[in-house]
Structure 1
Amino acid sequence: MKKILTHIVTMVLCIASWNLNSCTGNFEEYNTNDETPEYGSIDPCTLLEQLISTGAYYIYERSWRVNNELMQYTVDCSSSSRMQRYIFQASDFNTPWDRFQRYAANANHMIQLAEKYKDNNAKAMAMTLKTIFVSLLADLYGDIPYKEAYRIEENITQPAIDPQSEVYPALIDLLLEANSLYDTRTNSNGNYESPLTVPTKDLLYGGDIAAWQKLTNSLCLRLCLRLSNRPEIGTASIMQEIVSNPGKYPIFTSVNDDAKVCYTGVAPFKNDFGDMTDATFTTSSRKCAAFFIDQLHTTSDPRMSQWVTITSSEDVHGVISGVTQPDGTGACIMNVSVLKQYTTPVWFMTSSEVYFILSEAAHNGMITGGDEMARQYYEQAVGCSIRQWLPSISEANIDRFLHAAGSKVAYDGTLEQIILQKWVSLFMQGFESWCDYRRTGYPNLPIGPDCDNEGVLPTRLGYGQLLISTNHANYQEQIARMKATYPVVGKGTLGGDNMLTPVWWSLRAVEMERSTMN
């Protein structure tokens, strides 16, 4: 396959020398016994467990704290939280920047170790994990350091900030290279000829290399669709090649393939939401949003029993988002017995998401199949999401949900329907629903009358303070570029480091560029 970029950059996202060692050295120490090894001398596979465990948990935590509020799954009714009105604190910008950058740094270090020990399977896994965390940074903030990042050995301590138009294609190329590295050959006993050296460190698949390859290619589909508003990049042809060659590019096809972190419930491999009180998690102030409850309740969605606790059977309702004093009296709350346990699983990616990606791609012509395949993929997507949360549900019940007379979830041939049901399925699963909203404008969320940010759902997060303070010159150059590209981003807001400047792949960015040209 022809690469999008002619050169793959393998060093990413290190802002400066401020904590390169702390980003990687702590994992090495964590995964050893009494004696700390020389830096860079451990088996690359030993980095997997902490990287997977902490990375997955933090994505789950941000789902609960940020994405749920923005995308109207929940509304925090307390006076101390105003995120549902698009009012953020500095920590909401700083913490994701620091965390995802640290995880990406550790994944990058794992790549270096895998190269040192000539372990291609470990290298491909590390490339995949690095792409997850780097793409999250680009999704949240926009342009980020990439080509010059993590090159401290070359004395590059203030890397340039690269445009998303280069970062995303480079990440796609990284995944395509990772796919080519996997060695899934097995011997006569069915064992891998090149197994992981420490398969127990793999909290996702237990050393199943073929399963990792499916994750790599499924993630590639996600990033290709992310650029659907930028057809000049050419990701449609990559999606088609992946779909047309399942032997070369295997992808998720069932819930058994899902990238699911199953916590043991024993420290350190536990979902830390188990430490949180029920009141903090949901019962005190963080209630389910009206838009979410209306969608679940009016469609008799079987997943509602797993996600929601109904406090009043006579008046099933959620809280209206975007108002100064939200009223949570009698509103539905999140189901703590499912969502807030030490063993509550977390997903990096699911088969349901993959089928929704394929449904949209068939619908908009990025892959072949037309509306009939879009319908089939859509129904498989909904079915996989239901099985994800209700493994014992019968196929007959899923079929009734999709096809009963008057069903509101039956496929109707519209992008809005595809994205609405995808939004439902992405509850508590990272920032993907926010990405879809910025990319497509769906679901059609009602914006409350008291929302800040000129009444526009935030387009991005502001850069973290660490970037601003340690890489100030490049930060200032980046702000100048943002202002030049999008001079005015609201009714009275100038372009720059704010939550109205659009990310490059978004529908808002494309529309603003078109209006400038006219």
Structure 2
Amino acid sequence: MKKLIYLITMVIAFSACTNDFEETNTNPYQISGESLKQDFNHVGAFYSSMLSQIFGNQVDHNLTNVTFAQHLATPTPFVGGVNNTTYYIRWNGYWAREYNNVMAPAKQVIDIAAADGYDVFVEWANLIRIVSMSRVTTYYGPILYTNYGSTESALYDSEETLYNAFFSDLDRIISVFSANTDYVGLNNFDASYGGDVSKWARYANSLRLQLAMRISKVAPDLAKAQGEKAMADPVGLIETNADNFNISLYGQKFHPAQICFEWGDTRMSATMESILIGYKDNRIAPFFDPVSDMSLVTDHPDWPYKGIRNGAELVAKDDRLSFSTIDVSFNDPAKVTKRKVMSADEVFFIKAEAALRGWAGAGDAQANYEAGVRASFELWGAGGVDAYLADNTSLPIDYNDPVATGAVNDFVNQITTTVAWDEAASNEIKLEKIITQKWIAAYTNEMEAWVDYRRTGYPKLPPVYQNSSNSDWGIIPDGEAIKRMPFVNSEREGNAAGVADATAKLGGPDEIGTRLWWDTGGPNF
């Protein structure tokens, strides 16, 4: 089957750039366009490739949003230790990856599917476009979406325009999916939900809720309306792990495992060490491997895990290779076959915040908060969730770098909220609990964790130790965090007018310290 899909993909790619293909001599043993239409192969072969590109590689993901969210950190002093992780931008490839590998083929397959009247395939591709672009905009702000593929305009959408377009497109997508729950055309191509259109509808509805909460501070009325629409929709939300949206690895190794075990360029973060050990969080075992050198963990020998501070002052890569890797099971493609994009825990945490914000249909904040924690523990096979949720004393610990001399790379924990829910606490404290647990549960899909940190200020992450930002890409004041990635050089050079217009829509200079639209910097309530 893999060989067939590969062959199909190659045929489509070749035919796409050959206008008069059908007029040339045809090999009788070659797969023809008509035979590809059998069982929807002429459209279905696009989807696995598009979905596999949602997560970037080391440059696009691991050295950008993963380190900005402080889940993993690098032991490697790339470019003399002055790089993305210390707020000097060396790599900025996510834009090209998503436009070349998702938006371009999506446009092509939408045209083909629309011509043949395959509405579900059309909207499946449109949904994948939103998945991709809703992530790309968290890097840059204004992006090309409604004008993508236009021969008349290469102007970016403002973020306000973009989110309204997302919501409008989701209306149509969910309507088509809801009306076609018995459709079987996706079956041979859908490694996420096995062709179950109702589950795609549930994911699309959950995505609406996620995007609504993302803009809750800058456009509270729109956010509330869209969030309530998602929670009231009879199609439902992702509220069990059986409905989680995962992307198949299609037989490939989980990419962070390659970065960790083959290249030695990523390890547990010091922030993960501080929070997971301080909270006595049993998810630490399926997340990370313990160290073999107990001299690294003399401050907590019962929890033998050691992380690296994000933006650490690093001298040599070998100094910290003995720190905790991600769990070794990630290195086995037979054990780790997929990567999550949205899971039930995230939906429960969004509903918990929605309850604090008074959105109709959200339910009880505490019930949702605890359901989110339970769903995450279940997903990772971790025990002890009842004791964890009842713990009203444990706090994250201070961090000590056992390799550096003195206080270099060390930090003092700033988180003062415990895990246990406190109904008498202020909404601000309740929100901190919710977002801190949402941050932990986001492991392996850190992008929304970076969003939440910028949007709410939670969790209270330590600042990078080494801040290398300067006027080249914008200055991040000491103690603050990076806000965005700059527009890419290919666009600056090839679409200068579009970038100038996008910068005006951004509302500030094209620098890493300019806040995105939804990142107001104002109070949470």
TM-score normalised by L of structure 2: 0.77
Residue of structure 2 aligned with 1:356, choices 349, 355, 372: 349
Q: Secondary structure of 2:246's match? A: strand
What is the match of residue 201 of structure 2?
A: 213
User: How far apart are the structure 2 equivalents of 1:27 and 1:134?
Assistant: 27
Q: Shift of residue 56 of structure 1?
A: 4.0
User: How far apart are the structure 1 equivalents of 2:489 and 2:9?
Assistant: 23
Q: Shift of residue 476 of structure 1?
A: 2.5
How do 1:499-510 residues align onto structure 2 when only pairs under 5 Å count? Answer: 499-508=512-521
How many matched pairs? 446
Aligned partner letter, 1:350? S
Residue of structure 2 aligned with 1:74, choices 66, 72, 97: 72
Aligned partner letter, 1:298? G
User: How far apart are the structure 2 equivalents of 1:273 and 1:236?
Assistant: 36
1:109–1:199: structure 2 CA closer, same or farther, 3 Å change rule?
A: same
1:480–1:58: structure 2 CA closer, same or farther, 3 Å change rule?
A: closer
- The question of 1:28 aligning with 2:9 is answered no
Deviations 1:17-51 (CA, angstroms, capped at 9, x unpaired): xxxxxxx986833999944749x986332322222
Residue of structure 1 aligned with 2:56, choices 41, 49, 58: 58
Give the conservation status (yes or no) of the 8 Å contact 2:241–2:344: yes
What is the match of residue 328 of structure 1?
A: 320
- The question of 1:381 aligning with 2:372 is answered yes
1:73–1:339: structure 2 CA closer, same or farther, 3 Å change rule?
A: farther
User: How far apart are the structure 2 equivalents of 1:465 and 1:347?
Assistant: 31
Deviations 1:326-375 (CA, angstroms, capped at 9, x unpaired): 763753232232366465221121111111111111112234557xx111
User: How far apart are the structure 2 equivalents of 1:444 and 1:46?
Assistant: 44
1:324–1:61: structure 2 CA closer, same or farther, 3 Å change rule?
A: closer
Give the conservation status (yes or no) of the 8 Å contact 1:29–1:36: no
User: How far apart are the structure 1 equivalents of 2:50 and 2:71?
Assistant: 28
Aligned partner letter, 1:403? A
1:339–1:258: structure 2 CA closer, same or farther, 3 Å change rule?
A: farther
What is the match of residue 278 of structure 1?
A: 261
Give the conservation status (yes or no) of the 8 Å contact 1:27–1:47: no
Structure 1 window deviating more from structure 2 (399-408 vs 232-241): it is: 399-408
Aligned partner letter, 1:117? D
Aligned partner letter, 2:94? P
- The question of 1:366 aligning with 2:359 is answered yes
Residue of structure 1 aligned with 2:231, choices 211, 233, 243: 243
What is the match of residue 181 of structure 1?
A: 176
What is the match of residue 256 of structure 1?
A: 242
Give the conservation status (yes or no) of the 8 Å contact 1:259–1:349: yes
Q: Secondary structure of 1:502's match? A: coil
Aligned partner letter, 2:444? M
Q: Shift of residue 427 of structure 1?
A: 1.5
User: How far apart are the structure 2 equivalents of 1:27 and 1:139?
Assistant: 34
| Unmatched 5+ stretches in structure 1 | 1-23, 187-191, 487-495, 512-518
1:330–1:254: structure 2 CA closer, same or farther, 3 Å change rule?
A: same
Q: Secondary structure of 1:144's match? A: coil
Residue of structure 2 aligned with 1:337, choices 329, 342, 345: 329
User: How far apart are the structure 2 equivalents of 1:272 and 1:477?
Assistant: 36
User: How far apart are the structure 1 equivalents of 2:68 and 2:365?
Assistant: 28
Q: Shift of residue 109 of structure 1?
A: 2.9
User: How far apart are the structure 2 equivalents of 1:323 and 1:238?
Assistant: 41
1:481–1:237: structure 2 CA closer, same or farther, 3 Å change rule?
A: closer
Deviations 1:110-145 (CA, angstroms, capped at 9, x unpaired): 333332222222222222111011111211101112
1:477–1:169: structure 2 CA closer, same or farther, 3 Å change rule?
A: closer
| Unmatched 5+ stretches in structure 2 | 1-7, 17-28, 299-303, 395-417, 470-475
User: How far apart are the structure 1 equivalents of 2:289 and 2:313?
Assistant: 25
Deviations 1:85-130 (CA, angstroms, capped at 9, x unpaired): 22220xx22x101011121232233333332222222222222111
- Percent of aligned positions with the same letter in both sequences? 22
What is the match of residue 109 of structure 2?
A: 110
Q: Shift of residue 62 of structure 1?
A: 4.1
Deviations 1:428-451 (CA, angstroms, capped at 9, x unpaired): 204111111111111111113421
1:302–1:184: structure 2 CA closer, same or farther, 3 Å change rule?
A: farther
User: What's the RMSD between the two structures over aligned residues?
Assistant: 3.0
